[in-house]
Amino acid sequence: MSFWTRLAGRARHHPAPDDTPPQAAASEPAAVEALVRRLRQGDPNALAPLYRSESPGVYRYALALCGQPDLAADAMQEAFVQFAGRPEGWDSGRGSLGAYLAGMARHHLLARWRDQPMAHDESEDADHAHHDPVEAPEQQLVRAQDQARLMDAIQSLPWVFREALVLVDLQERSYVEAARIAGVELNTLRTRVHRGRARLLAALRDEVPAAVACSSKSA
């Protein structure tokens, strides 16, 4: 069954309340809320502009977490299927629709990785002894000329640190929104970001001597 067939099956098939054509995209909060309201009233035409607006961000978030395009696309699509079946589950007072969908994609990824302990590594205490101030991450990211190498370093982090950095540093979400998506307290999220940055910095630093050694050998 195709993705859009599944969506059509989840969306309610009642006549639209008016003949207003679907919007090309939904980017402003008011436009998003209006489209979701139409979807709740049974207008299936409201789903497509929401998908066009929100799916790229949800996909990028899932891809940064898992590093696998197929799995990221699956998580993104599953989030929309679930949302289409129960649009009333989103509360605009608790966060943006993008954050809500990202949280659903996150749960899908965790369910897929339930039998992979390393994906759920919660060993934050392992870094408890490290209190050195962390250099600004953007300075390290600018120096990391190879984007693929950077993503490999992020992928090497335990899940909790990887997720925190993806939400805050890559997606530039607020700490409050990031904590809501991750389902943790704000202070916990801040701690994960701090330690995740430290681990990422160490990983990037370790790659530099290795690259120099390889270059020397090849010369």
Q: Which two tokens stand for residue 161?
A: 């640190």
Residue 5's pLDDT band (boundaries 50, 70, 90)? low
Residue 16's pLDDT band (boundaries 50, 70, 90)? very low
33 Cβ neighbours under 8 A, 6+ residues apart: 92
The per-residue pLDDT for range 149-203, each reduced to its tens digit, is 777 788 888 989 999 998 888 888 899 999 999 889 999 999 999 999 999 888 8
The per-residue pLDDT for range 106-153, each reduced to its tens digit, is 988 888 766 454 334 444 444 443 434 444 544 444 443 456 677 778
> Which pLDDT score is estimated for 135?
45
Give the Cα-Cα-Cα angle 66, 69, 71 (nearest 5 degrees): 60
**What letter does residue 133 receive in the DSSP assignment?**
P
Segments in the chain forming alpha helices (H)? 3-10, 29-40, 47-66, 69-85, 97-112, 137-143, 147-155, 159-165, 175-182, 186-218
